Structure 1
Amino acid sequence: MSAADAAFEFGPHSVESEQALLGAILINAAALDGVRHLVEASDFAEAVNGHLYEAMCLRRDAGEPIDIRLVKLTVGDRDLGGMTVGQYLAALAGGATTVINAPGYARSIRHAAQMRRVLETAQAAVGAMTGGEIADPGEYAAGMVDELDAVIVASHGRSVRRMRLGQSAAAVLDRVREAQSGRAQRGAPFGLPGLDRATLGMRDNQLLILAGRPGMGKTTAGIHFALSSARAGYGVGFVSLEMDDMELAERALAAVAYDRRDPISYRAIAQGVDIGESAYRRLDDARRALDRLPFEIEQQPGLTVSQIAARARSLRNRFERAGHYLGLLVIDHIGLIAPSKRYSGNRVQEMTEISGSLKRLAKELGIPILALSQLSRGVESRPDKRPVLSDLRDSGSIEQDADVVLGLFREAYYLEHVAEPTTEQFDRLNVVRDTLEIEILKQRSGPTIRVECFCDVSCNVLAEAARW
């Protein structure tokens, strides 16, 4: 129709699909129920079509019939280039052919809306960058990533398949059968049997927090968990906002080449000068083992959650092309994620936004996300410095959004920093020097236990104490 076509001249649009969808709803209001999860009023290119769609949704929600007269009363009357609303509705109904194609019309409308948002983002960026003001190009790029990521999330979110409860229950029983036969696939493994039994591993859609004070071994544990998952065939993305790839590689080499009788610390690897020929051969063997693992490092500092999400999706595609799949994303650490400008200066609100966004990203990608986190200094003021949930830094939302929270504690760290240790403290240090406690502080669907581990921090080695 010329009036509608003239109303939106620029950018991708699907006015014919808009008219066909509205006509299908006028013929059979039930068509609306099958498309509301696909399209919103704001997706319509022609403003009056979006207004009509919104009015139809309101009448449907109120349990009232949708017909030309009642929709006209809801919308009111206005001129559409010589055509009234009543005439326009009559033409919609007269031009509609079938309700079967309603979902297809809705998807076409949504696709065009997303294309317009991509185009608008690009045009706004061009306008800003050519407006004469000299600014940091990184800011323009970050803004574009945020806007485009919103399009991706919206696209994915509306494509989530609805499931009947009975179907989900059947899938659970299938998993039970697989577990009974020994074929069950649990979550990405921590590589610590006691922790894996208690949690069933790092499971899809989960946000896991690995928390501790500085010196407790967060990065040691995070790298161990990541390597264990990669060895089990899970593709791993490690987002390092603090260390570069070389530092992480030094730690990984020290861990894989570890021999308790002749350990090679990652500091020695970094220095290089004291590495003998035998040690070098062990490190080269470790290098070849690491090269076979589906493990990639993202080392750019100051990333936002949107930028992390964009890189994770790209990594997932690369893994799929190589015959793997993204099974774990590790972030070191959550406190270094750059916040958006929405809550600038309000750290509590910034962390609330970040933790909530990470949880949504885990669900969107269908993978576990393990985020390392600092604990507050309040730990240091207590006689017992083992972490508790309230020690999570800056925001209680991290505790709320996380499915699993693991707290780390190394008694040896504190004993090593006693200025004048007593004989008792010195003896105790010898007992706990290589001990790391990992406590499940929170788990939505499992026990909260403590696992004692052997930990050689200098070599980035972790193992369950009972098995060492």
Structure 2
Amino acid sequence: MNAHVGTAPDLIEQPHAQSAEEGLLGAILHNADVLDKVRGIVDAIDFHVDVNAAIYAKMCERRDAGETIDGRLVRIAIGDADLGGITVGEYLAALYAHATSITSAPDYARAIRHAAMMRKVLATAQDAVKAMSAAAVDNPAKYASAMIQELDEVASSGMPDSIKRVSLGAASLQAIEAAMAAREGRIERGAPYGIPSLDRMTLGMRPGQMIVMAGRPGMGKTTFGVAIALNAAKAGHGVYFVSLEMVAQELAERALAAAAFSPRDRQPLSYRDIAKGKDLKDEDFWALNEAQKRLNRYPLEIEQQPGLTISQIAARARQTRSVMERKGQHLSVIVIDHLGLIQATKRYSGNRVQEITEITGAIKVLAKELGVAVVVLSQLSRESEKREDKRPVLSDLRDSGSIEQDADMVIGLYREAYYLEHKTKLTEEECARLEASENVLEVEILKQRQGPTGRARLFCAINCNAISELTEY
């Protein structure tokens, strides 16, 4: 079988993934839908073996024409090519035998693409060696410039579309196409918060955004983080929840309480009731089992290891995205609970401002690289406690101004009932305010890079992790 001829000497073996080529072609023969999953990853020119490249090109041609992809097509594509002493029938049988699964096909396609890019790097290096060996001593800048241009294509090919260089014309066309798709209901502009008033104000949690949700202790940061994660997952968006404070079972207790919650129940199950367990009735377990069946369908993964660095979180997020893709899911949202518990590197050891600056900068890069919304829960400073009106403001963000600078959106959380409940003596007026605010969570958009600021008053059963529109109750 003949391989593409490169510029490197024959003594250097060309990087290739021949078994992956055969496995991918075999998978397409078994199920033509595989081709739709891999066409954005690999092209015919990426195949190392000429005959495999011809087969793949013919498959794409047939697929575009709406025609059948079968063994007869492979025979046509092979033609009179040299198969190294085996017959066309034997080669076809080998493709069927080596076929990979539908879920593994994208990984095989990436292996083929990576081998092609490695061949390009090798060829670029060999061309540079030949050119410089044949030339008299000259300005090396022109050789370096040519290499940089060639190698940049390789480096860029590994980037996700969300961070690739693009012309203004192409970007504006993408914006129009996305707007048209959103109008026709084919796509959502972002993963929904699941709260209509908040979704209208923000257009949801959009790809590439760093969203900070901040509040003092007791304001419901984790409650809100779990609630929006559940809402996004319920809508079919993949969610990766990084819990640096709670173990997965504690988060699951909150999720079960939220999923089983009904405003019609006089005494709805709280997550504390679920954790305690001994007072639960048979009907409570029935409700919890039904809730668990619904939660089991949600594309939501929980990371519960404490003390992770942002680099470790990023690596595990990439792994989670790959796992979700193999299941036919799409990672849209990462929730980190919370910013203060992300382990800093030793680079700025002892300088908390610089540590937070490094972390928030890396979070923003992660959001753009993966094309997801990263929601970071954050503690506010004690400054709000000194004011009569304790509602959060941007200057209350703790440790570093980089949080406000790097965030595309900052949302402040406030529960008046929390402060009134912790007051020793209440006036009649304060008692009335406590009754009116008992199940109210104020969500205020303090900063939105591409939208308005504003406030929404939501219903919040804090002990059941249930949040929704206030008008619903």
Instruction: Name the TM-score, length of structure 2 as normaliser.
Output: 0.69
Contact 1:219 1:332 in 2 (8 A): yes
Q: Which residue, 249, 252, 256 being the options, matches 1:249? A: 252
Kindly state the Cα deviation for residue 168 of structure 1 after the two structures are TM-superposed. 1.0
Supply the AA of the counterpart residue of 1:251: R
The corresponding residue for 1:134 is none
Question: Would the aligned equivalents of 1:21 and 1:106 in 2 still touch at CA under 8 Å?
Answer: no
Q: Which residue of 1 aligns with 2:381?
A: 376
- Aligned match of 1:346: 351
The Cα offsets for residues 188-226 of structure 1, whole Å up to 9 and x where unpaired, read as 111110110111000000000000000000011101100
- Is residue 230–residue 236 contact of structure 1 (8 Å, CA) maintained in 2? yes
With over 3 angstroms needed to count, the CA separation of the structure-2 counterparts of 1:244 and 1:362, relative to structure 1, is same
Select which of 267, 278, 284 maps to 1:273.
278
For structure 2, list consecutive stretches of 5 or more residues without a partner in the other structure: 1-10, 12-117
After superposition, the C-alpha distances for 1:392-449 in whole angstroms (9 at most, x for unaligned) are 0000100000001000000000000001112221121111100000000000010101
1:212–1:105 Cα change, 3 Å: closer
Deviations 1:357-377 (A, max 9, x none): 000010111100000000001
Instruction: Decide whether aligned partners of structure 1 residues 155 and 384 sit closer, same or farther in structure 2, where only a CA change above 3 A counts.
Output: same
Kindly tell me: are residues 266 and 364 of structure 1, through their superposed partners in 2, closer, same or farther at Cα, counting changes over 3 Å?
same
SS at match of 2:344: coil
Matched position secondary structure for 2:139? helix
CA separation of 1:158 and 1:278: change in aligned 2, threshold 3 A: closer
Deviation at 1:295, TM superposition (A): 0.6
Q: CA deviation at 1:178?
A: 2.5
The structure 1 residue matched to 2:139, chosen from 71, 82, 99, is 71
Structure 1 residue 464: deviation in Å?
Answer: 1.1
Q: Partners in 2 of 1:162 and 1:209 — Cα distance?
A: 27
Give 1:158 shift: 11
2:79: which partner in 1? none
| Preserved contact between residue 190 and residue 228 of structure 1 (Cα < 8 Å) | yes
Alignment counterpart, residue 320 of structure 1, candidates 318, 325, 343 = 325
Find the partner of 1:434 among 416, 423, 439.
439
Residue by residue over 1:251-305, the C-alpha shift from the partner in whole angstroms, topping out at 9 and shown as x without a partner, is 0000000022231010010000111111111111001111111111000000000
1:238 and 2:241 matched:
yes
1:18 aligns with 2:125: yes
Q: Name the % identity.
A: 51
Code of the aligned partner of 1:20: D
2:127 maps to amino acid: A
Q: Which residue of 2 aligns with 1:192?
A: 195
**CA 1:68–1:304 in structure 2 vs 1: closer, same or farther (change >3 Å)?**
same
Partners of 1:21 and 1:102 within 8 A in 2? no
Distance of 2:225 and 2:419 partners within structure 1? 21
Kindly indicate whether the alpha-carbon contact (under 8 Å) linking 2:163 and 2:368 is maintained by their aligned counterparts in 1. Answer: no
Within a 5 Å distance, the mapping from 1:140-289 to structure 2 comes to 156=159, 160-260=163-263, 261=265, 262-289=267-294
Report if aligned partners of 1:17, 1:106 keep a CA contact under 8 Å in 2.
Answer: no
Using the alignment, how far apart are the partners of 1:243 and 1:375 within structure 2?
Answer: 19
- Whether the aligned pair in 1 keeps the contact of 2:364 and 2:406 (CA below 8 Å) is yes
Paired with 2:387 and 2:381, the residues of 1 have a C-alpha distance of 12
Shift of the 162–434 alpha-carbon distance from structure 1 to 2, 3 Å rule, reads: same
Where structure 1 has 5 or more consecutive residues not aligned to the other structure, the ranges are: 6-11, 27-48, 50-66, 76-88, 93-98, 111-152
Alignment counterpart, residue 391 of structure 2, candidates 377, 383, 386: 386
Residue pair 2:162, 2:368 contacting (<8 A) in 1 also: no
Q: 1:154 to 1:267 in 2, by over 3 A?
A: farther
Q: 1:23 Cα deviation (Å)?
A: 5.7
Aligned partners of 1:266 and 1:238: how far apart in 2? 18
CA distance change for structure 1 residues 307 and 70 in 2, over 3 Å: closer, same or farther? same
1:329-350 alpha-carbon deviations (Å, 9 max, x no partner): 0000011000000000000000
Equivalent position to 2:405, from 400, 405, 416: 400
Distance across 2 between alignment mates of 1:157 and 1:345: 35
Distance 2:161 2:250 in 1: 40
CA–CA separation in structure 1 for the residues paired with 2:153 and 2:413? 48
Q: Is the 1:375–1:392 contact (alpha carbons within 8 Å) kept by the matching residues of 2?
A: yes
Cα deviation per residue 1:106-139 (whole Å; 9 max; x = unaligned)?
Answer: 778x7xxxxxxxxxxxxxxxxxxxxxxxxxxxxx
Which one of the candidate residues 395, 411, 418 is aligned to 2:416? 411
1:107, 1:201 → 2: CA distance? 34
Contact 2:380 2:396 in 1 (8 A): yes
Residues paired across the two proteins, number: 352
The alignment's C-alpha RMSD in Å is 2.9
